[in-house]
Amino acid sequence: AFCLQPDVSSGNCWPLQGHEGQVVIRLPAEILPTSVTVQHIFKELSPSGTVSSAPRDIAVFGVDVDGEEEVPLGSFTYDIGKEAMQTFPLEV
Domain 2-89: what homologous superfamily? Answer: Galactose-binding domain-like (2.60.120.260)
Q: What is the pTM of this model?
A: 0.76
Which residues, at least 6 apart from 58, have a Cβ–Cβ distance to it below 8 Å? 36, 38, 75, 76, 77, 78, 88
What does the pLDDT look like over 39-62, one tens digit per residue?
887 777 777 777 777 888 999 999
What does the pLDDT look like over 10-32, one tens digit per residue?
666 666 777 888 888 888 888 88
